[in-house]
Amino acid sequence: MSEVRTDKALSMLSANPKQTALLLDVDGTLAPIVNNPVDASVPVEVRTTLIELGRRFGLVACISGRQADEARRIVGAGGLTYIGGHGSERLLPGATEPEVDNALAPWSERVNAVAAAAARDLSALGIRREDKGAVAALHYRGVADEDQAAEALELVAARASADGLAIHWGRKVLELRPPVPFNKGIAVTELIEGGSFETVLYAGDDRTDLDSFDALDSLLESGKLKQVLKLGVLSSEAPPEIGRASDLVVTGTDGVAEFLGRLLAVSDK
């Protein structure tokens, strides 16, 4: 991480905190990747930093592929905004229930029925199902034979696609989705256009975060934003596109924690 570029980025973000939005992916960005998704958590010191940043900046939002309330559990900070299900849910500070996109809700039962059947049929391979509301995930990270599991899930993906569902491959996970347009980028656009922001940081580590990068580029080009910082989180599993599309890169969740800690320090001055 270039110190000169980092210092410039921190100065840009802290110049006018109340008109700056901090948008952060969760898994692989704030929370270290773990074999079993239910074990993921944000370190206490990062959680404390996020809470303090939330008091200083116009918006701090966590953007996740998980359900919004699950993302909030992992982060552990109730005063932030959470976008879950890759943009299909929004959970505002203090709210007890997320707002769900009305176009996606009717598909939830069908998506999860297909995922449940696949998880049952492939249970011997160790594949784990995760319910994300209108999205269902089939994880194979850490199973005995990941190649065999991925091959089996290719067949699941083909059947789901033939049945009218949309599919998305992540890092050692297959997601089944409704055939309705939604992604993190659409959610980010709605968040920013619904507020009064000049500067936005987005930090992410996976292909789904590239949609957010593209959305922010569009908002910048249209004049709706004055400044954007795309922070790429690099790791052995991060797609190379993340590094190429970023304005600044850090290494892993520790790099994100350091960057946010420094941002908090300069915003106190």
Regarding whether 145 and 234 lie in a shared domain, the answer is no
pTM (2 decimals)? 0.83
How many distinct helices (H) and strands (E) make up the chain?
9, 12
Structure tokens at 259: 């960057």
Helix (H) or strand (E) holding 98: none
In terms of domains, do 135 and 12 share one? no
Q: Where are the alpha helices (DSSP H) in 3-87?
A: 3-14, 44-56, 68-75
The residues carrying an active-site annotation are: 25
49 plus 149 within the same structural domain: no
What string of pLDDT tens digits covers the 269 residues of the chain? 578 899 999 999 999 999 999 999 999 999 999 888 888 999 999 999 999 999 999 999 999 988 899 999 999 999 999 999 888 889 999 898 888 877 877 888 889 899 999 999 999 999 999 877 788 889 999 899 999 999 999 999 999 999 899 998 988 899 998 898 888 999 999 999 999 999 999 999 999 999 999 999 999 999 999 999 999 999 998 999 999 999 999 999 999 999 999 999 999 76
Q: Residue 78 maps to which CATH number?
A: 3.40.50.1000
Last residue of a domain, one of 130, 152, 177: 177
Same domain, 171 and 214: no
Find the domain containing 88 and state its range: 3-101+182-267
Neighbour tally for 37: CB within 10 Å: 19
Pairing assessment for the beta strands 166-170 and 173-177 based on DSSP bridges: antiparallel
Q: Same domain, yes or no, for 33 and 20?
A: yes
State which of 141, 160, 177 marks the end of a domain: 177
Same domain, 69 and 200: yes
Number of compact structural domains in the chain = 2
7 with 90, same domain? Answer: yes
Kindly state whether residues 97 and 58 are assigned to the same domain: yes
Residues 92 and 223 occupy one common structural domain: yes
